[in-house]
Structure 1
């Protein structure tokens, strides 16, 4: 990636992986644009977290809105990390990462950005086919035809484990509760709180378990 300053569009949901990806790009001196996607998700708390993170770190924030009547998905609960790794989760939403990456690539091309960064990783994940290195490689190949001389796609966290990503988060100035990953938030007197039972919550706990 070098030390040359580039304009980078980062797909940024407000979760641990995408926020680390964004701050990693900023730490390398790049001009960073955070891109969120509003796609009729059940809750917007992740978008609120992302906006707060951008305000804190002085990063431009953009939102693309997609009117998507996406299919409902069953959210698994109280699975161990070992169970999560076994196969494709019922929460998998087919096509989502492909759509998001294409939107980010189109945005990057439109604003003259050099690169699109994604926090996708494939070590501690729920077997999602659109998180695998093969998917990223094939998307890069497709992108070279879809947008000739367009932005390059980078996935700097691809081979990192969740604990490794949490350690990097800490070095970049994030703490355990600075990002949002829960699929099934609960409403309390203090507002939205993580459910603590979905796969995203379990992986978040696993990521931070050895850090103080």
Structure 2
């Protein structure tokens, strides 16, 4: 089986790609530039992780105009990183682009690093969203492309523990994009909650 893995340089998507490699899947990693504030650091971390996995086929979808149009705390420094974090349609955009890429490279599935539904803050982080997205993708692509969320039964503390066990390091998960993680955005707060 072959899979397009959505990779961001963060812990969750990096772990998803490690797991796919361990399963012996043919991996097509895809990084989406959606105009995020943390683009530079995310992409750098992503490239390091893919190099460590000997995946030299990383593709980058340049969709920076999305963040310029759909402004949020993740794309616009003038907005609040937490209160304005919801970026409408972001995960659907990711899955649509990944599925179109899967169609072109002949992959069977796309993979996204969403965690347990109990951790969902937004409507596009739920199992219902994933089921409906898979159905819609099959309709618009004219063939089934599975939508996988290998970490959907995991909470962040379990992801952190598994990543440590696998020796994963050097990821970047802060939405601000500064050299040192801000400690306040949603991504940083996930680590705080799970360590408490």
Alignment check: 8 A CA contact 2:134 2:145 kept: no
Query: Counterparts of 1:1-212 in structure 2 under 5 Å?
Result: 6-43=1-38, 44-59=40-55, 60-66=57-63, 67-68=65-66, 69=68, 70-73=70-73, 74-76=80-82, 90-123=84-117, 125=119, 127-175=121-169, 178-186=170-178, 192-207=179-194, 209=195
SS in 2 for 1:10: strand
Q: Which has the larger radius of gyration?
A: 1
Give me the whole-angstrom Cα distance separating, in 2, the residues matched to 1:62 and 1:184.
23
Alignment check: 8 A CA contact 2:102 2:109 kept: yes
Corresponding position of 1:86: none
Return the TM-score normalized by structure 1. 0.81
Shift of 1:24: 0.7
RMSD (Å) for aligned C-alpha atoms: 1.7
Alignment check: 8 A CA contact 2:31 2:43 kept: yes
Q: Residues 155-185 of structure 1, C-alpha deviation per residue, up to 9 Å, x if partnerless?
A: 111121111111221232214xx21111123
Q: Residues 16-44 of structure 1, C-alpha deviation per residue, up to 9 Å, x if partnerless?
A: 11111111100101111210011222232
Task: List gaps (5 residues or longer) in structure 1.
Answer: 1-5, 77-88, 187-191
SS in 2 for 1:153: strand
Alignment check: 8 A CA contact 2:112 2:148 kept: yes
Task: List gaps (5 residues or longer) in structure 2.
Answer: 74-79
Number of aligned positions between the proteins: 185
